[in-house]
Every structure is written in C-alpha cells, then in structure tokens.
Structure 1
Amino acid sequence: MEANNNWKAVCALADIPKLGSRVVRRAAGDDIALFRTETDAVFALTDRCPHKGGPLSQGLVVGEAVVCPLHGWAIQFSDGHACAPDEGCTGKHPVKVVDGVVWLSPV
C-alpha cells in the first residue's frame, strides 16, 4: 500500500509488543506513543500524561487504556481522556493497520 492523504507508514504491527507500546519521535512537538492491545487493536496518543507530563509509552496497557507510570492515571485510548475521577486529556492521533503495517496520519 502506498501512502495517501499524507498517511505515513511508521512500523510493522509486530514491532509493537502485545500490551505494549512503541514511540514515534517527532522533530517538532511531543512524541507519539503507539499502543497495541491484547486483541491487536492499535491506538496512538501523545506520549504525555495530562497530569504531570509522564511518558505514557512507559505505562501499562490495561484493556482499552494505558496507566501512567508516574501516578497511576488511566488514559482511555478511545479519546485520550483520563478515567474518572481524574480529569484531563492528551492528544489522540489517527492510526490504522493495513496488511500488518501501522500507518499514522500527521493530522
């Protein structure tokens, strides 16, 4: 598959461990953390917890969320929002998997 609409191939699905993450470094702005769930769903969030800026990529994947390694905040993959009672949000980025390749949209 070739890149279209500015989507960029960033890695193979196999490069992201199940229940783990991989970081996509950006020249400008915060890095992006790619997460892989038990069911091989992939999500992309800004690699910065809304609480104290901790690296979400170093957190634990639990279901459809990541738990920040600094203070235990759970951040939902669906929208980047902290799970109640915590409040805050990190950026969510469009991502897709096609034929085992993970694609990230710069938007």
Structure 2
Amino acid sequence: MNWIDIGAVDEIPVRGSRIVKTRDGCVAVFRTGPDEVFATSDRCPHKGGPLSEGIVHDRKVTCPLHNMVYSLETGKAQGADEGVIETYPVRVEAGRLLLDGSRFAARGAA
C-alpha cells in the first residue's frame, strides 16, 4: 500500500467529513469516532449527491439528496434500493490520517 498523509484526524469533527481531491475525483473522509475513520467516493450513484454533505451516523452516511443510507465499511446501500459506493483504505497513525493512494496511482498508469 502507498499511504499518503492527508492531514490531522482532529481537522475532521466527530460525525463529520472532509474532501480529498484526487485526479480520479473526490474522496470523502468520514470520522465516526475519536480514532475511527472511513473513506469513500464522494458521489452517490443514484443522483450524484455529495456524500460528504450527508448525515454521518453510526458507521453510515445518508445522502443529502434522497436519503439513501450507505455503510461506510462496505459501501453497500441499505434499504429497498440497491447501490454501492467505492470505499478506500484509510487509517489513523499518531493523530494523522493516512489514505492508501495505490488505487489512484494504478488508474493513472497506462
């Protein structure tokens, strides 16, 4: 894995998020607890809603456009409708957020 330091965990409020821009699009990084973080695609596959602006609860996020609920762990939609958002490895180390950038680098290679 290719871990990239994307900032301090304290820069994201608990039950909040922030955006990390990559050449492949935006990644939403969510903080659900003091040292619990998740990273997903920022776009809802149904209506393109910005998930980073959604409501973070438990280990889930609710899309701000149409209330679809996604698991931050698996990316799977919950409820009658089906859908999946992409998830990315992220961790906290010594108070810093580290995002695995190897998937982004692999997409850019030709």
TM-score (norm 1): 0.90
After TM superposition, the structure 1 = structure 2 runs for residues 56-95 of structure 1, keeping only pairs within 5 Å, are 56-95=51-90
Alignment partners' CA distance in 1, 2:72 and 2:15: 13
Letter of the structure 2 residue corresponding to residue 19 of structure 1: R
Alignment partners' CA distance in 1, 2:31 and 2:16: 6
Query: Does the Cα contact within 8 Å between 1:18 and 1:40 map onto a contact in 2?
Result: no
Name the structure where helix makes up a greater proportion of residues: 2
After superposition, give the CA deviation of every residue in 1:59-106 in whole Å (9 maximum; x if it has no partner). 010111000000000010111111121211111000010010000001
Query: What's 1:11 paired with?
Result: 7
Query: Does the Cα contact within 8 Å between 2:35 and 2:92 map onto a contact in 1?
Result: no
TM-score (norm 2): 0.88
* Identity among equivalent pairs (%): 44
Alignment partners' CA distance in 2, 1:39 and 1:18: 7
Shift of 1:38: 3.4
Query: Does the Cα contact within 8 Å between 1:44 and 1:77 map onto a contact in 2?
Result: yes
After superposition, give the CA deviation of every residue in 1:12-69 in whole Å (9 maximum; x if it has no partner). 000111100010011x222000000135310000101121111000001011100000
Structure 1's unaligned 5+ residue stretches are none
- State the 4+ residue runs in structure 1 displaced beyond 6 angstroms: none
Query: Does the Cα contact within 8 Å between 1:44 and 1:93 map onto a contact in 2?
Result: yes
Name the structure where strand makes up a greater proportion of residues: 2
Question: CA 1:104 to 1:16, structure 2 compared with 1: closer, same or farther past 3 Å?
Answer: same
Query: What's 1:101 paired with?
Result: 96
Letter of the structure 2 residue corresponding to residue 35 of structure 1: F
Aligned residues: 102
SS state at 2:25 partner: coil
